[in-house]
Amino acid sequence: MNVVARTLQNQSSRSSDHGLTLLLEKVYAEKGWDFRNYKRTTLSRRVSKLLNAGKASSYGEYFDLLDRDPSEYYRLFSAVTIKVSEFFREPEVFESLSHIIRTELSGSPIKAWCCGCAYGEEAYSLGILFSEVMPAHIFAGSRIFSTDIDCEALEQARRAAYREEALSNVPDGLRNKHFVQADGLFKVGMNLRSLIRFGTLDIIQSPSIKGVSILFCRNLFIYFNKALQESVFQKLDYALKPGGMLVMGKAEVLPSSYAHKYAAIGRGLNIYRKL
Ligand SMILES: C[S@@+](CC[C@H](N)C(=O)[O-])C[C@H]1O[C@@H](n2cnc3c(N)ncnc32)[C@H](O)[C@@H]1O
């Protein structure tokens, strides 16, 4: 048993919270993944689930397991980076955006960014929207950069094949137009796939993108503590052009220090125009 594991076993009263801190430091030191400022409650729930799944009966044992079997780091990574998504998640957001693109943004090609895109459902949904509302030559010049910390999720996103459940918000007309059915899966058409560029980007540690007119960053801030939300928001703000649209998740709020730079569009949609 290593020194950290032994120390942990001796600290029964505060072992859980302290154990989590040491675990996050270890993960950062060994793998460079910085989860240290993710929300403790969510992290603690996810890690406890791993431990309870029979992996280890204490943090100390879990440290030993990580040392013995480094592939466990990837299971931990997967447990911490929650990748729930679906096509046209919160359809009213896409309806409102459709109107904005049609009336304000369709005059020239758009550079969009989906930050924290999971398996690509959000990026392809935005792509469908582009293809439905943009003139062909504007569509051809537009790009959606779609990024996530998880390169395996991005590999799946590039494969662009989805189970039917992921498409429950996609109306039949759009389903028939933009997907091809093969082997029980729905594959996104080539037209959309050439619009979207997938790439690994850790929003905490990587530099930002520039010159973006539409920026989706939904259901990612909910996993960050307040201080991390502030520092990451700086990168989103840097990326967005004045007049550009920021789309956040329903349960997320703009950091108060940026509220004066953004105007909310509609009510309860969490779409903001950068002033
Ligand atoms: C719940 S999903 C959100 C997917 C999509 N935006 C949506 O709302 O349906 C959160 C995504 O953020 C990614 N993520 C977590 N930490 C990240 C980081 N530091 N940088 C970039 N992406 C991250 C996860 O891998 C996951 O795919």
220-274 confidence digits (pLDDT tens): 999 999 999 999 999 999 999 999 999 999 999 999 999 999 999 988 999 999 9
Query: Domain check: are 133 and 239 in the same one?
Result: yes
Report the CATH number that the domain containing residue 213 is assigned in CATH: 3.40.50.150
Query: Domain check: are 104 and 185 in the same one?
Result: yes
The pLDDT score that the predictor gives to residue 55 is 74
Q: Domain tally for the chain?
A: 2
Most ligand 1 atoms within 8 A of CB, residue of 74, 115, 149, 201 to mutate? 149
pTM: 0.94
- In a domain, residue 86? The reply is no
- In a domain, residue 85? The reply is no
Q: Which of 80, 109, 140 is the last residue of a domain?
A: 80
Which residue has tokens 């996050």?
A: 24
Q: Which of 29, 59, 80 is the last residue of a domain?
A: 80
Whole-angstrom distance, CA of residue 275 vs CA of residue 268: 19
Domain that holds residue 207: 91-274
User: How wide is the angle at C-alpha 162 spanned by C-alphas 224 and 74, nearest 5°?
Assistant: 45
Query: Domain check: are 190 and 152 in the same one?
Result: yes
Whole-angstrom distance, CA of residue 135 vs CA of residue 130: 9
User: How wide is the angle at C-alpha 114 spanned by C-alphas 110 and 118, nearest 5°?
Assistant: 150
Q: What DSSP state is assigned to residue 43?
A: H
pLDDT tens digits, one per residue of 171-212 = 999 999 999 999 999 999 999 988 999 999 999 999 999 999
Most ligand 1 atoms within 8 A of CB, residue of 149, 218, 220, 231 to mutate? 220
